[in-house]
């Protein structure tokens, strides 16, 4: 885990100041990498390309992991981890490549030399990197499948800037001060942010999850999507077979995420997702010291007893933090600065304090359960989408029964059915939904915004794109592509990196996503509306039964 920053100056008059500007801006991401700092100047046909890097040493703690790393015509700065680097290194050695370090960065360079862009599909990891190839004088900016690691850029006719956070980009170009009003209105009206390439700053964009851009001075920017979650039902086995397969794949993911040369802990809430991570860690490593870090809320919503149950089950050493309004008042400015952009709720302060607690106890890497809700039909189980699938696939009686069970869970069945019918009724029903939802709140002067070209952009169930009867899977695929999950991952990255913590999310791998999205929908949400049905079955014997039975 690190921080990256770079600039490619095309204006000859500005090149002399670029190195000084980079030196001033790089300390703004020193919290992302307190262990080492490095820069490199790369000559190109269009001028000098500058790379800057701050390192949080996780794997191969020696100076061999220093970045920027240059191997022949390839130069790279990497933020993140390629967890399966050992397996890839063995494969690449068989293809004639040699290695002088034990770093995943060197493996990335060899993989790119061997497979180019196709290497991305071979990586299991979280990453954002900038890679220059002197053979064609191109620069590639690439981001992992889910956008776990951030990557921003700003391009005009004078220069290309890129980095892990917005603040250093603004330091490189103080003219980047204008608010993006479309993003601001999305946020204020609908709570939407981190859901596409837009940021709150006009002129600064983010690489979207599963995407890259390739820049060449002759061809300009060439965007590409290297991973798209599919939703076609291809699994032909039973539910029991699927649970066994998921268990094997999930444990393998946790095993890879445990690779580290520094202490590893677990962020534990007491819920099913974090309990699955923590218990899998103990299952795979029965003898290692296991430290967990938990936020303990007061009142009837407290999950303290569930976290305690998991800690006892895993023989873990528990560390807890409680917060009050005085704590939030003290830390609010620091929280805002750490996030870099607006966020939806101060509830993320609890996570901020959990990472602070972990760092105080010498932990550098944590594993957490983020992404399980989007992969395994968590939250409320996506009831509108599940009902829509039942209606669309010709099962109206099952749909009525499902709606009735949702009523017993405290939801409004008639409203769910009406939304589902509108969703599956084709473009006319969808258009009616869009017109009804695409209204500005009463406190916003929509006419003035419309005159400025700003649109009302609520989050709506999209028209079907893909196979019929797969609305639930399509909703999860949209969430994984950034609309929903993106904000949560940004919160987690900034909160963790503020304390120089590498937060890992084992649920979020393309392998797990491709598998889960290929299953029948009722494997994830049962006929009686139970969410995460497959996860509950797969973790039997690993997670305490009382946790598995929680609603």
- DSSP states of 123-147: --EEEEEEEEETTTTEEEEEE-TT-
Helix axis angle, 383-392 relative to 413-424, nearest 10°? 50
Q: Which helix (H) or strand (E) holds 239?
A: helix 239-257
How far is Cα 314 from Cα 179, in angstroms, rounded to an integer?
48
Q: Where are the beta strands (DSSP E) in 217-351?
A: 220-225, 264-267, 291-295, 317-321
Point out the catalytic residue in the list 2, 185, 195, 314. 2
In angstroms, the CA 38 to CA 497 distance is 18
3-state secondary structure of 367: strand
| CB environment 121-158: b (16+ within 10 A), e (fewer) | eebbbbbbbbbbbbeebbbbbbbbbbbbbbbbbbbeee
Is 296 flagged in the annotation as binding? yes
Distance of CA 103 to the CA centre of its chain: 23
Q: Which of 212, 38, 197, 199 is nearest to 117 (CA)?
A: 212
What separation, in Å, do the N-terminal and C-terminal C-alpha atoms of the chain show?
35
Please state, as a whole number, how many other Cβ atoms lie within 10 Å of the Cβ of residue 13. Answer: 8
CA distances in angstroms from 468 to 238, 390, 418, 471, listed in the order given: 21, 10, 19, 8
DSSP code at position 507: T
Whether 2 is catalytic is yes
- HSE-up (13 A, CA, CB side) for residue 184: 10
Mark the binding-site residues, compressed into ranges.
Answer: 104, 296
**Catalytic sites, residue numbers:** 2
Mark the binding-site residues for L-glutamine, compressed into ranges.
Answer: 104
Mark the binding-site residues for ATP, compressed into ranges.
Answer: 296
């Amino acid at each position: 885990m690190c921080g990256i920053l770079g600039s490619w100056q095309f204006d000859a008059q500005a090149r002399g100041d670029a190195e000084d500007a980079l030196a001033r801006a790089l300390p703004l991401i020193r919290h992302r990498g307190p262990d080492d700092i490095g820069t490199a100047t790369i000559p190109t046909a269009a001028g000098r390309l500058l790379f800057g890097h701050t390192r949080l040493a996780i794997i191969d703690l020696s100076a061999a992991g220093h970045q920027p790393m240059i191997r022949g015509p390839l130069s790279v700065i990497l933020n993140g981890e390629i967890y399966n680097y050992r397996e890839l290194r063995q494969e690449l050695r068989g293809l004639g490549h040699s290695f002088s370090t034990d770093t995943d960065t060197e493996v990335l360079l060899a993989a790119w030399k061997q497979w180019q862009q196709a290497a991305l599909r071979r990586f299991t990891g979280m990453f954002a990197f900038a890679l220059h190839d002197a053979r064609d004088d191109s620069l590639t900016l690439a981001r992992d499948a889910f956008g776990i690691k951030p990557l921003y850029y700003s391009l005009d006719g004078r220069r290309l800037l890129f980095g892990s956070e917005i603040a250093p980009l603004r330091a490189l170009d103080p003219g980047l001060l204008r608010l993006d009003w479309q993003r601001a209105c999305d946020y204020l009206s609908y709570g939407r942010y981190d859901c596409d390439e837009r940021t709150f700053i006009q002129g600064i964009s983010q690489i979207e999850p599963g995407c890259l851009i390739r820049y060449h001075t002759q061809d300009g920017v060439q965007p590409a999507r290297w991973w798209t979650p599919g939703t076609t039902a291809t699994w032909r086995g039973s539910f029991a077979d699927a649970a066994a397969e998921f268990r094997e794949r999930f444990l393998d993911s946790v095993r890879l995420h445990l690779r580290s040369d520094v202490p590893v802990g677990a962020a534990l809430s007491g819920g099913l997702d974090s309990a699955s991570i923590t218990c899998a860690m103990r299952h795979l490593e029965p003898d290692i010291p296991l430290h967990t870090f938990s936020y303990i809320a007061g009142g009837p919503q407290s999950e303290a007893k569930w976290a305690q149950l998991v800690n006892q089950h895993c023989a873990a050493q528990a560390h807890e933090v409680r917060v009050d309004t005085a704590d939030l008042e003290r830390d609010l400015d620091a929280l805002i600065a750490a996030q870099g952009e607006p966020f939806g709720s101060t509830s993320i302060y609890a996570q901020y304090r959990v990472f602070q607690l972990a760092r105080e106890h010498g932990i550098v890497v944590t594993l957490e359960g983020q992404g399980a809700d989007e992969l395994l039909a968590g939250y409320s189980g996506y009831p509108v989408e599940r009902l829509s699938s039942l209606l669309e696939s010709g099962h109206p009686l099952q749909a009525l029964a499902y709606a009735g069970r949702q009523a017993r869970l405290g939801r409004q069945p008639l409203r769910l059915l009406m939304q589902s019918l509108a969703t599956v009724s084709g473009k006319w029903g969808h258009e009616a939904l869009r017109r009804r939802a695409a209204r500005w709140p009463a406190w916003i002067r929509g006419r003035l915004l419309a005159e400025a070209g700003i649109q009302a952009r609520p989050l709506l169930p999209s028209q079907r794109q893909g196979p019929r009867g797969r609305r639930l899977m399509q909703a999860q695929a949209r969430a994984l592509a950034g609309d929903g999950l993106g904000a949560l991952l940004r919160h987690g990255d900034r909160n963790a990196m503020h304390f120089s913590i590498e937060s890992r999310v084992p649920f979020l791998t393309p392998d797990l996503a491709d598998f889960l999205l290929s299953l029948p929908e009722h494997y994830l949400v049962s006929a009686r509306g139970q969410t995460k049905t497959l996860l509950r079955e797969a973790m039997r014997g690993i997670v305490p039964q009382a946790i598995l039975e929680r609603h």
